[in-house]
Amino acid sequence: MNGVRQPAVAGSFYPSSARELAATVDRLLAEANTMGALSAPPPKAIIAPHAGYTYSGAVAARAYATLAASHDRIRRAVVIGPAHHIWFKGVAAPSSVAFQTPLGALPVNRAAIDALRGLPLFGVADAPHVREHSLEVQLPFLQRLLGEVKIVPLLVEDARREDVGAVLARLWGGNETAVVVSSDLSHYHDTDTARRCDAATAAMIESSDGSRLGPNDACGFLAIAGLLAETRNRGLKPRRLDLRNSGDVVGSKDRVVGYGAWCFVPPAPDDRSPPRVSTR
């Protein structure tokens, strides 16, 4: 991949016109803001789905709307999700210097990627990123909310949970860094079965227990598990924002995909349980 990674799913997963894309994202965010109280204080991390905007855009917007209050301080977004097209071991960053969308180019934080070198199962590989949608569909939300934020795009394939956690720990930073985990939930059940499966997955996420998450629960289960380990160690609490499936939005109810949105925030003042200490 030379220079700038070009869009792979513009015109299919989301509009290819910059004007239409901006209007779509802005509408989704505005609708999310009408659906109830958002997180206070602003979250450090979110989980958002990555299907086409027609299907999961409203759920993703629920997660992204919680970052709006942080637009003046977030300068870096770690965006991590599953690879759907190419098998590899570990966590892969691209060599590109920017990711292009119809809204413009988002610069890649090369210094952050260089800081990951030497971690187990981390490497630089372009092939998994060329056709991948799981990160790309997140970027227009970041652009409309945060402007020209620098991104750290990472794909996970055959990795250990602790290796994903180590990557996130090294990139955690302070208030200038937000973490975005990209994942859909169950795939191709009927809607009633999907609701039961996704409720069980939500319970694991909301108990900060990623040890039992598997590929049938969420396509980005390894990224979620790594995030849960790090947020648990740092005392952050998951907050559910939305949980539904494609049958609730559009199309058949016989073969649906589940979508959920969560944010991770400091505990409420009356929650005095201490954070767990990492043993890594």
pLDDT band at 215 (very low <50, low <70, confident <90, very high): very high
The Cβ-side half-sphere exposure at 220, using a 13 Å CA radius, reads 31
pLDDT value of residue 42: 85
Per residue in 74-92, pLDDT (tens digit) is 999 999 999 999 999 999 9
Residue 270 binned pLDDT confidence (cut-offs 50, 70, 90):
low
Fold held by 4-265: Protocatechuate 4,5-dioxygenase; Chain B (3.40.830)
pLDDT at position 37, please? 56
Lowest mean pLDDT among 120-129, 168-177, 249-258: 249-258
CA distance 257 to 232: 27
* 257 within 8 A of 58, measured Cβ to Cβ: no
φ and ψ at 27, to 5 degrees?
-65, -45
Element (H, E) at 144: helix 139-146
Q: What is the rounded distance in angstroms from the CA atom of residue 221 to the CA atom of residue 181?
A: 10
- Overall pTM > 0.75: yes
Q: Where are the domains of the chain?
A: 4-265
What's residue 280's pLDDT? 35
Return d(Cα 53, Cα 38) in angstroms, integer.
Answer: 21
Name, in order, each residue with C-beta under 8 angstroms of 34's C-beta and a sequence gap of 6 or more: none
Phi, psi angles (nearest 5°) of residue 108: -85, 135
Instruction: Answer whether residue 276 shows pLDDT above 60.
Output: no
